[in-house]
Amino acid sequence: MTISSTPDLLDDNPHWQVLPPGFVDYGAAEIFSGQVETVKCFEDNSRVKELVATPGLGRVLVVDGGGSLRCALLGDILADKACSQGWAGIVIYGCVRDVEILRDIPIGIRALASNPRRSTRRNEGQASLEIRIADVTIKPGDYLYADANGMLLAPGSETEM
């Protein structure tokens, strides 16, 4: 999907939120946008695995991994599944792995860092709830816009651009 640049979108919508800088671009799609679905999990990617196996419908999965850098919540297998299911992007407040493969998967992927260690699966975590990354509150149904300048979050009550 083609979007205006995030600086232009923010100039036109100064009340939108800006996700904190520091996220690294790992996917083949540098520019992506879509309606948000959320997951909150800590070092357990069970809910991420479940969601990427469902129809993405052009949405963006935002994962609050608590900022943990101890293990990856997404790797090539789950990213490939998300892509095949039609997700536009995945934002991980935590780590990814298999970065040499992720860069060839045509989906937007942003994360804090990479770590070769996989997460555990204890069937923990929650989906479709309000999460918070730094000082940004993210709700299912909001819209996320990402490009090389950063990531913006628009309230779900506003029309997708």
CA dihedral 138, 139, 141, 147 (to 10 degrees): 10
What is the per-residue pLDDT across 14-52, written as a single tens digit (0 to 9) for each? 999 999 999 999 999 999 999 999 999 999 999 999 999
Average of per-residue pLDDT values in the chain: 95
Is CATH 1.10.3720.10 correct for 22-154? no
Kindly indicate the confidence band of residue 157, based on its pLDDT and cuts at 50, 70 and 90: confident
What is the per-residue pLDDT across 48-87, written as a single tens digit (0 to 9) for each? 999 999 999 999 999 999 999 999 999 999 999 999 999 9
Please report the pLDDT score of residue 1 as a whole number: 40
Instruction: Judge contact between 70 and 115, C-beta under 8 A.
Output: yes
17 - beta bridge partners? 153
What is the per-residue pLDDT across 76-120, written as a single tens digit (0 to 9) for each? 999 999 999 999 999 999 999 999 999 999 999 999 999 999 999
What pTM, to 2 d.p., does this model score?
Answer: 0.94
27: amino acid identity, one letter? G
Own/partner contacts of 134-140, CB < 8 Å, gap of 24 or more, are 134/19, 134/20, 135/20, 136/17, 136/18, 136/19, 136/20, 137/17, 138/36, 138/38, 138/62, 138/64, 139/36, 139/38, 140/36, 140/37, 140/38
